[in-house]
A and B are shown apart, each in its own frame.
Chain A
Amino acid sequence: MNFDFSDEQKQLQDQARRFLSERSDRGVVRSVLNDAGKSFDKDLWTAVAEMGWLGAAIPEEFGGLGLGKLELCVLAEEMGRALAPIPFSSTAYFFTEALLKGGSQAQKSAVLPQVAEGGVIGAFAISEGPGAPAPGSIQTLFDGSVLTGVKIPVTDGDIATHAVVLAREGQSLSLVLVDLRQEAVTRETLTTLDPTRGHARLTFRGARAERLGAAGEGWDLAEAVLDRAAVLIAFEQVGGAQACLDMAVDYAKGRYAFSRQIASFQAIKHKLADMYVAIEVARSNTYYGAWALSTDASELPLAAAAARVAACDAYYLASKENIQTHGGMGFTWEVDCHLFYRRAKLLSVQAGAPGVWKEKLVRRLETKNAA
């Protein structure tokens, strides 16, 4: 039984934690939060690219480090813990996984090396309006060479150079690769709950685009990308939730009320213990997702759904109860609790909301039990 990361992977994680605690400290996060014109930290992005982390899971033949998915998982946990204000998840999870899963040899060779060196910022565009996207609801059209329609919201869509878009092609759906740096693409920056990450409405007016994978394969490909991204996002969520618990523990020990540490009250202790339990449940499910992702196991769809449901629960609980533990101070702009509360909500809807994933989980469980 070796259900843990290797010593080398843990070293990489320690290295990432030290690096991000300096380069993505709360001052850096707040510089993006407080500046409406800024939706990511360019210096951090460049530095992360120089570390090679954008290409951590990209095979060497496409210019990456070729390490593996487990390495990307430990990096994701640290990105989440540090609230890194960069398009790492959009690029390294969604966009890269879409290319690896659906791209031709030529497409991978053309784009992935640029991803690895930080020259390409990728986005993944599915949503078109309120509610979970369904095969019948996608309005954006692809005619084999050009793309027309509106995607809203697209995480990091305001800064991305490329996007993978889910579009209708004839009677079915396809995934489409678009270079966003063309006149037929317009972007409007959106005001969102989490200003530490950029969001945009992307409008395509006959934009040149190429298909990823076969025509009509779009929905299944998108689901496969979401399964993979869900595991990686779950690591960010676990990292963020753990940061909330660490903050709450630290504050509760130092804060006195009624002439004693508030951490000595069982009402606070049990709250923090519940956070710990939720995080450990998420961590165990997320590790299983990592194993399934790294081995491309047939268990991946069910494991990814369980990881996502558990991680959404844990981060929401940890981020809201961290505010509660901080009392009135927790409700101020200056204290960092709200940064996590914002990010928790972004991550719980970005790859499909928990309700959608609970449904996926049960459907996959039914299939497994019937098999």
Chain B
Amino acid sequence: MDFNDTPEEAAFRAEARAWLEKTLSPATRAAFSEDEPLKAAKAYQALKAGAGYAGLTWRKSVGGRELPPIFSVIFGQEEARFQAPVGPFAIGLGMCIPTMIAFASEEQKKRYVAPALRGEEIWCQLFSEPSAGSDVAGLKTRAVRDGDDWVVNGQKVWTSGAHYSDYGILLTRTNPEKEKHKGLTMFFLDLKSPGVEVRPIHQMSGGSNFNEVYFTDVRIPDAQRLGEVGDGWNVALVTLMNERLAVGGSNGPDYAEILELARNTPAPAGRGSLLQDQAFREKLAAWYVSAEGYTLGKYRTMTALSKGQTPGPESSIGKILNANRLQDLTSAAIEAEDHFGIISDPAIAPEQAVFQASYMWAPGLRIAGGTDEILRNIIAERVLGLPQDVRVDKGVAFKDLPTGR
């Protein structure tokens, strides 16, 4: 038992770190950040692809290096150390392009994979809808065949990055006479197609990180269909399978930040600091154990990857832990500040109001990418082997299923 890289991994890490030090040195970083963040990200991605660090696990025939997944994890860890601007490409390169590689024609792969890898074209994923969230197969956006084209009408929601994306993969309903999962078909499309309208969602936190995307008589050539007509659900499963390796932390404040806050905050009893308060200390211990459980769990996943095993849905645990800890911890931090805690002005509130901001972000984290409840179902069904809930949508045409709001 140790925490060391294998010699091969260590060599790769050193090489990656040296490249990142050079590429993201304070001087070059300053040049990046003078531009728009998106421009900076695209410039970084071009350098990364040029140096051979993009698509590490992909086949060589599509521009990858065919390395085992552990190398991708190692490069990601090093990128995180340097705060590399990789956000805009996570969904495209993590989910959309792997789907293209699996289902697009050779010609299409030649046209689309390399520009995405170089960061020239950004992709988004158009699955969720207002009435199809956790139950994404309940989506209603219709695609109707018209000659060599399909005509699409409907609405997608919670589309990350649609406002700066060039292309998207789109899951549609092509046959409402069939069962829910059997009448779906996948396409890819140019987001500049006539009839596509992207509108930002105004979140409860005040920001706008996601979009609604409306489709009005949007024409998509049949050549841009991914997989067979009616086989869209199986194509979507390939997309979603690639989501699993993207295990990320919460980026919000954690036990170390609230420990420092407590050191400088008076205790509720009026004597000493909050850090000396027994009730607070018990909570702090629990947060530490949860945070360590997540971090050390990732080490176990890395170990499995390093041995060539494929991590399973166990990684669902991480988001349940992190999202709930973030919510509880930021709530406690605000209450620790007493009346002052209501101030969310970064110029006045402790720690630039990071606790207040994360408190408003935490509810979204518990929902995005699989709600707490869906993740528990995944653990129950795929890890513990428990049966599915009784389904009322089996053997019924989609058009005959009851719909609520």
**Closest residue to B280 on the A side, CB-wise?**
A362
- Min CB gap A70→B, angstroms: 6
A305 to B294, CA, bound (A): 16
Q: Of the candidates B2, B314, B383, B387, which one forms a contact with A263 in the assembled complex, judged by CB atoms under 8 Å apart?
A: B387
Tell me if B47 is interfacial: C-beta within 8 Å of chain A.
Answer: no
Contact B302 A309 (CB under 8 A): no
Contact B297 A362 (CB under 8 A): no
Which of B14-22, B37-45, B281-289 contacts its partner?
B281-289
Tell me if B245 is interfacial: C-beta within 8 Å of chain A.
Answer: no
Chain A 266-324 interface residues, beta-carbon cutoff 8 Å to B? 266, 268-270, 272-274, 276-277, 280-282, 284-285, 287-288, 290-291, 294, 305-306, 309-310, 313
Contact A264 B386 (CB under 8 A): yes
- Min CB gap B240→A, angstroms: 19
**Closest residue to B314 on the A side, CB-wise?**
A280
Contacts A277-B321, A281-B293, A310-B289 given: A3-B1 contact, CB under 8 Å?
yes
Q: Which of the listed residues A273, A305, A306 has the most CB atoms from chain B within 10 Å of its own CB? A: A273
A287 to B3, CA, bound (A): 12
Q: What does the 1/0 interface line of B361-405 toward A look like (CB < 8 Å)?
A: 000000000000101110111011111111000000000000000
Q: Of the candidates A4, A291, A309, which one forms a contact with B289 in the assembled complex, judged by CB atoms under 8 Å apart?
A: A309
Q: How large is the interface on A (under 10, 10 to 19, 20 to 34, 35 or more residues)?
A: 35 or more
Tell me if B57 is interfacial: C-beta within 8 Å of chain A.
Answer: no
Which of A17-25, A41-49, A353-361 contacts its partner?
A353-361
Taking CB atoms, residues of chain A closer than 8 Å to B286 are 309, 313, 358
Contacts A285-B293, A306-B289, A369-B259 given: A264-B389 contact, CB under 8 Å?
yes
Taking CB atoms, residues of chain A closer than 8 Å to B303 are 1-4
Chain B 319-341 interface residues, beta-carbon cutoff 8 Å to A? 320-321
Chain A 1-46 interface residues, beta-carbon cutoff 8 Å to B? 1-6
- Min CB gap A242→B, angstroms: 12
- Min CB gap A75→B, angstroms: 15
Tell me if B292 is interfacial: C-beta within 8 Å of chain A.
Answer: yes
- Min CB gap A168→B, angstroms: 27
A313 to B289, CA, bound (A): 10
Tell me if B11 is interfacial: C-beta within 8 Å of chain A.
Answer: no
- Min CB gap A241→B, angstroms: 14
Taking CB atoms, residues of chain B closer than 8 Å to A265 are 389
Q: Of the candidates B5, B281, B288, B381, which one forms a contact with A1 in the assembled complex, judged by CB atoms under 8 Å apart?
A: B5
Contact A253 B386 (CB under 8 A): yes
Q: Of the candidates B297, B299, B375, B385, which one forms a contact with A280 in the assembled complex, judged by CB atoms under 8 Å apart?
A: B297
Q: Of the candidates B4, B317, B375, which one forms a contact with A2 in the assembled complex, judged by CB atoms under 8 Å apart?
A: B4
**Closest residue to A268 on the B side, CB-wise?**
B386
Taking CB atoms, residues of chain A closer than 8 Å to B285 are 305, 309, 357-359, 361-362
Taking CB atoms, residues of chain A closer than 8 Å to B299 are 1, 3, 284
Taking CB atoms, residues of chain A closer than 8 Å to B9 are 1
Tell me if A366 is interfacial: C-beta within 8 Å of chain B.
Answer: yes
Tell me if A181 is interfacial: C-beta within 8 Å of chain B.
Answer: no
Tell me if B290 is interfacial: C-beta within 8 Å of chain A.
Answer: yes
Please report the number of residue pairs spanning A and B whose Cβ atoms sit closer than 8 angstroms: 152
Contacts A1-B302, A249-B386, A280-B314 given: A362-B1 contact, CB under 8 Å?
no
A369 to B320, CA, bound (A): 26
Taking CB atoms, residues of chain A closer than 8 Å to B289 are 281, 285, 306, 309-310, 313, 361
Taking CB atoms, residues of chain A closer than 8 Å to B314 are 280
Tell me if B296 is interfacial: C-beta within 8 Å of chain A.
Answer: yes
Taking CB atoms, residues of chain A closer than 8 Å to B383 are 276
Interface size on B, residues (CB 8 A): 51
Q: Of the candidates A245, A284, A290, A358, which one forms a contact with B292 in the assembled complex, judged by CB atoms under 8 Å apart?
A: A284
Contact A1 B259 (CB under 8 A): no
Q: Which of the listed residues B4, B376, B383 has the most CB atoms from chain A within 10 Å of its own CB? A: B376
Q: What does the 1/0 interface line of A320-357 toward B look like (CB < 8 Å)?
A: 00000000000000000000000000000000000101
Taking CB atoms, residues of chain B closer than 8 Å to A280 are 293, 297, 314, 317
A280 to B380, CA, bound (A): 14
Taking CB atoms, residues of chain A closer than 8 Å to B3 are 1-3, 291
Tell me if B145 is interfacial: C-beta within 8 Å of chain A.
Answer: no
A5 to B307, CA, bound (A): 12
Taking CB atoms, residues of chain B closer than 8 Å to A104 are none
- Min CB gap B340→A, angstroms: 24
Tell me if A205 is interfacial: C-beta within 8 Å of chain B.
Answer: no
- Min CB gap B401→A, angstroms: 20
Taking CB atoms, residues of chain A closer than 8 Å to B165 are none
Contacts A2-B306, A70-B1, A365-B284 given: A284-B297 contact, CB under 8 Å?
yes
Q: Of the candidates A3, A266, A291, A310, which one forms a contact with B302 in the assembled complex, judged by CB atoms under 8 Å apart?
A: A3
Taking CB atoms, residues of chain B closer than 8 Å to A4 are 1, 300, 303-304
Taking CB atoms, residues of chain A closer than 8 Å to B2 are 2-3, 291
Taking CB atoms, residues of chain A closer than 8 Å to B297 are 280-281, 284
Contact A287 B296 (CB under 8 A): yes
Taking CB atoms, residues of chain B closer than 8 Å to A366 are 259, 275
Contact B292 A285 (CB under 8 A): yes
The contact sample of 30 A-B pairs, CB cut-off 8 A, is A1-B3, A1-B299, A1-B303, A2-B1, A2-B303, A3-B300, A4-B300, A245-B384, A249-B384, A260-B390, A263-B380, A264-B389, A265-B389, A266-B377, A269-B380, A274-B376, A276-B383, A277-B321, A284-B292, A284-B294, A285-B292, A288-B292, A305-B285, A309-B286, A355-B282, A361-B288, A361-B289, A362-B284, A362-B288, A369-B260
User: Closest 3 interchain pairs by CB?
Assistant: A281-B293, A269-B380, A358-B285
Can you name 9 extra interface pairs (CB under 8 A) apart from A1-B5, A281-B290? A3-B296, A273-B377, A276-B383, A277-B379, A284-B293, A284-B300, A285-B292, A306-B292, A365-B288
